[in-house]
Amino acid sequence: MNICIISVGKLKEKYLSQGIGEYLKRLQAYAKVEIREIREEPFTEPLHEKNLTAVLEKEAERITALIPERYYVIVLDREGKQLSSPELAALLQKECVYGQGNIAFIIGGPLGLAKSVLDQADFILSFSKFTFPHQLMRLILVEQIYRALTIVNNEKYHK
């Protein structure tokens, strides 16, 4: 299984990098995981609707350019469908067994994602109705991918 995580913005906090690094190391037993970062488009507040759309579309162009061909695309958005950890495991297993075996996750920046990115999604996933910092979401995502793959492999991590 190949997993590509496309994320807007660079990680700034060392503790997040360390946590992500730990889960990436654990994930090596189950999948090849690659994280691709795109530059966050600069903006100033207050941000008017027209400017917001322009910022999101510039980021969308960079995101779209990094989505590998023939990957099942899962976009993270708080308006998406919420799954339990076992349900996420089942989705990943289904795509691995019956799909291409390649999954791309997309995490937006502080402003979210352009409609054009959401429209490209095969699945829109929500971790919560809460808004999380996009950098923290990267850590949460890799942990949940690890949890899902331990469920798929019937291992002890998931409780």
Give 55-77 as a DSSP string.
Answer: HHHHHHHHHHHHSPTT-EEEEEE
> In this predicted model, what pLDDT tens digit does every residue of 85-100 receive, in sequence order?
999 999 999 998 888 8
Question: Which residue bears the tokens 């996933």?
Answer: 125
Q: Residue 159: pLDDT above 80?
A: no
Query: Binning pLDDT at 50, 70 and 90, where does residue 50 land?
Result: confident
Distance CA(57)–CA(41), nearest Å, equals: 10
Query: Binning pLDDT at 50, 70 and 90, where does residue 153 land?
Result: very high
> In this predicted model, what pLDDT tens digit does every residue of 51-75 receive, in sequence order?
999 999 999 999 999 999 999 999 9
For each of the domains in the chain, give its residue range(s) and CATH number, in order of start. 2-152 (3.40.1280.10)
The pLDDT assigned to 20 comes to 98
Q: In the 8-state DSSP scheme, what is residue 112?
A: B
Q: Residue 78: pLDDT above 80?
A: yes
Query: Binning pLDDT at 50, 70 and 90, where does residue 47 land?
Result: confident
Cα 19 → chain centroid = 16
Cα 119 → chain centroid = 15
Query: Binning pLDDT at 50, 70 and 90, where does residue 158 land?
Result: low
* Tokens encoding 108: 């937006």
Using an 8 Å Cβ cutoff, are 88 and 56 in contact? no
Query: Binning pLDDT at 50, 70 and 90, where does residue 6 land?
Result: very high
Burial string for 9-28 (b: 16+ CB within 10 Å, else e) reads bebeeeebeebbeebbebbe
* Tokens encoding 2: 């190949």
